[in-house]
Amino acid sequence: MANSESTTSGFTLPAPTDSAPSAAGTGTTVALPGDQLAGAYPVGTDTSSRDLLIGGGILLVLFVAFFFAKNAYANTLVGKRVPPNKANAAGWWMFVLLASLSTGVVLSAVNASKFMTPLILGPVGAVGLLALALMLTTGRK
């Protein structure tokens, strides 16, 4: 019963390696304030029309799916004895909620540096929160 396997805990640490940084070529330069560094710097590119077209296609597919979800939600509310006009309004508010959230997500995926700003996401989020509140209040009996 005194195997070497029973005395180990199941794993062993690798042997330490000497990874001392070499002095040549691995250092970074720190620029003093006011100094200019020579070299090429990557510039953020603008969103290509291809990316916008793909994002628009994804949104269109999602909007069609959200329309069917709206109808299913309205029919569920009618089954719970909510008046049909209130159920339909709640369904449309759910559609607006889902559309605003998916628009924010798709815009963020298309170009995060351009569209993930408070100026863009703030109104989209506000519309989503307003639609959520209206969906919940109009969906009552």
Q: Give residue-wise pLDDT tens across range 84-124.
A: 999 999 999 999 999 999 999 999 999 888 888 899 999 99
The pLDDT score that the predictor gives to residue 25 is 55
Q: Is the pTM of this model over 0.85?
A: no
Decide if 25 is inside a domain.
Answer: no
94 CB burial (10 A radius; 0-12, 13-18, 19+): buried
CA 31 to chain centre: 36
With b for 16 or more beta-carbon neighbours within 10 A and e for fewer, the 42-76 pattern comes to: eeeeeeeeeeeeebeeebeebeeebeeebeebbee
What would the pLDDT profile of 59-80 be if each residue is shown by its tens digit? Answer: 999 999 999 999 999 999 999 9
Task: Give the up-direction half-sphere exposure of residue 48: CA atoms within 13 A in the CB hemisphere.
Answer: 3
| Residue 116 is assigned to a structural domain of this protein | yes
**CA–CA separation, 84 and 92 (whole Å):** 12
Residue 134 in domain: yes
Cβ–Cβ < 8 Å for 97, 124:
no
In a domain, 85, yes or no: yes
What does DSSP assign to residue 87? Answer: H
Is the residue at 11 inside a domain?
Answer: no
Question: Residue 53: inside a domain, yes or no?
Answer: no
Enter the DSSP assignment of 117: S
- Residue 14 CA to residue 79 CA, distance in Å, equals 64
Any idea which residue has 């329309």 for tokens? 67
Number of domains in the chain: 1
Residue 87 lies in a domain: yes
Report yes or no on 74 lying in a domain: yes
Residue 102 belongs to what domain range?
66-138
Please tell me the predicted confidence (pLDDT) of residue 73.
Answer: 96
At 119 the three-state DSSP class reads: helix
The amino acid at residue 44 is: G
**1-13: average pLDDT:** 66
